[in-house]
């Protein structure tokens, strides 16, 4: 994996995370940040609420594998649907994910087919360092999921909320995010439907606190950097999709919020010389 250290973030930033043969997902634009976060946080246990085809879950797994961390991953999803067609699609998604996930990550990662509440009942309090909340997106659902899982968080945990930038009717993550992040260490990404990064507990590593305490100008650069790398990850995945995936219908991800191109020049110019040349090659 090609990675660099940038001046305002001490953990390495992956410029080209390995491309995994999974279906495209709205989440792919956050894959480079997932790699950075796992490196910075060094989580002992990762829990994801809402796995579906596995884009985000495998990003965490791949980061743990490539960094050689001693960590456990738990992906929770009901892979359920009310109608026959939906049930068939859910079975297919789970089988396809298992065929990739189990041999590659099965020694430290498991997929739990159950409800988020049932999985929480089995989880030790204070044992989760990284929680990704990506289930139903209504205000009530995301609030419920967070409240049920908050007692499971350790004293050095990060909680990620996907879709904080979606303000369509029915999506209430942005409202819950505004409430839960107020007055707490946090960082927001606007691209790829938005990702909220919430610091929880007094013992977060310095490398994570650097992000959560970034000054506005640094924060803009960090956003631009990860949006640009995320765009690149989405493009790569589309080009390198495994042939078996290309032959079956792939759900279209809604358009992503991309940084306008002048940002790229500004971003590249703001980096030290060695980073600049690598970044130029990567972002084109
Ligand atoms: C948006 S998708 C997850 C997307 C995934 N993180 C990705 O990277 O593409 C949400 C998933 O959460 C699951 N889900 C929602 N609420 C749930 C609950 N209470 N218990 C179990 N699964 C749930 C759904 O079955 C669905 O597969």
Tell whether the model's pLDDT for residue 244 goes beyond 60.
no
More confident residue, 238 or 141: 141
Give me the percent of the chain exceeding a pLDDT of 90: 56
User: How far is Cα 31 from Cα 60, in angstroms, rounded to an integer?
Assistant: 8
**Which tokens is 76 given?**
């929770």
Residue (of 148, 123, 151) closest to 136 by Cα position: 148
* Distance of CA 269 from the midpoint of ligand 1 (Å): 39
Residue 229, pLDDT score: 82
Q: What's the rounded mean pLDDT across residues 82-96?
A: 86
Residue 241, pLDDT score: 59
Which residues lie closer than 8 Å to 209 by C-beta, 6 or more apart? 185, 199
Rounded mean pLDDT of the chain? 84
Q: Which CATH superfamily is domain 2-283 in?
A: Vaccinia Virus protein VP39 (3.40.50.150)
DSSP annotation of 30 reads G
**Which tokens is 91 given?**
């079975």
* Distance of CA 48 from the midpoint of ligand 1 (Å): 9
User: How far is Cα 166 from Cα 174, in angstroms, rounded to an integer?
Assistant: 7
Tell whether the model's pLDDT for residue 245 goes beyond 90.
no
User: How far is Cα 178 from Cα 196, in angstroms, rounded to an integer?
Assistant: 10
Give tens-digit pLDDT for 51-67: 999 999 999 999 999 88
Question: What are the distances in angstroms from CA 260 to CA 7, 151, 162, 180, 203?
Answer: 23, 40, 22, 30, 37
Q: Which stretches within the chain are classed as H helix? A: 31-41, 55-67, 84-105, 116-121, 139-149, 173-181, 206-212, 216-240, 243-246, 261-269, 273-283
Ligand 1 atom closest to Cα of 48? Answer: 6
* Distance of CA 136 from the midpoint of ligand 1 (Å): 6
Which residues are near ligand 1 (CB < 6 Å)?
25, 27, 50-53, 55-56, 76-80, 115-116, 134-136
pTM of full prediction above 0.85: yes
**Which tokens is 248 given?**
């079956």
> Please, which pLDDT band fits residue 238 given cuts at 50, 70 and 90?
confident
Give tens-digit pLDDT for 196-223: 999 999 999 998 998 999 989 888 888 9
Beta-bridged to residue 131, according to DSSP, are 47, 159
* Distance of CA 52 from the midpoint of ligand 1 (Å): 6
The pair phi, psi for residue 37, each rounded to 5°, is -65, -40
Residue 249, pLDDT score: 47
Domains of the chain, by residue range, sit at: 2-283
Give tens-digit pLDDT for 148-169: 999 999 999 999 999 999 998 8
DSSP annotation of 151 reads G
More confident residue, 84 or 268: 84
Ligand 1 atom closest to Cα of 49? Answer: 12
């Amino acid at each position: 994996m090609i990675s660099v250290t940038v001046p305002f973030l001490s953990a390495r930033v992956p410029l080209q995370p390995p491309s995994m043969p999974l279906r495209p997902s709205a989440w792919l634009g956050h894959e480079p940040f997932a790699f950075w976060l796992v490196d910075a946080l060094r989580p002992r246990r990762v829990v994801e609420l809402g796995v579906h085809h596995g884009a985000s879950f495998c990003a965490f797994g791949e980061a743990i594998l490539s960094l050689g961390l001693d960590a456990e991953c738990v992906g929770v999803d009901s892979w359920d649907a009310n109608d026959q067609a939906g049930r068939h699609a859910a079975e297919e998604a789970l089988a396809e994910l298992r065929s990739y996930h189990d041999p590659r990550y099965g020694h430290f990662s498991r997929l739990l087919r159950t409800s988020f509440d049932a999985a929480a009942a089995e989880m030790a309090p204070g044992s989760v360092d990284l929680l990704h909340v990506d289930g139903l997106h209504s205000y009530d659902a995301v609030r419920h999921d967070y409240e049920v899982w908050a007692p499971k968080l350790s004293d050095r945990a990060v909680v990620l909320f996907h879709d904080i930038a979606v303000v369509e009717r029915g999506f209430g993550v942005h409202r819950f995010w505004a409430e839960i992040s107020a007055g707490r260490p946090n960082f927001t990404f606007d691209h790829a439907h938005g990702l909220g990064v919430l610091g929880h507990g007094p013992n977060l590593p310095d490398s994570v606190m650097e992000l959560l305490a970034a000054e506005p100008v640094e924060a803009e650069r960090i956003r631009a950097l990860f949006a640009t790398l995320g765009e690149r990850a989405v493009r790569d995945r589309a080009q390198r999709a495994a042939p078996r995936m290309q032959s079956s219908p792939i759900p279209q991800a809604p358009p992503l919020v991309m940084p306008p191109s002048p940002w790229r020049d500004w971003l590249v110019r703001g980096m030290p010389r060695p980073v600049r040349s690598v970044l130029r090659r990567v972002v084109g």
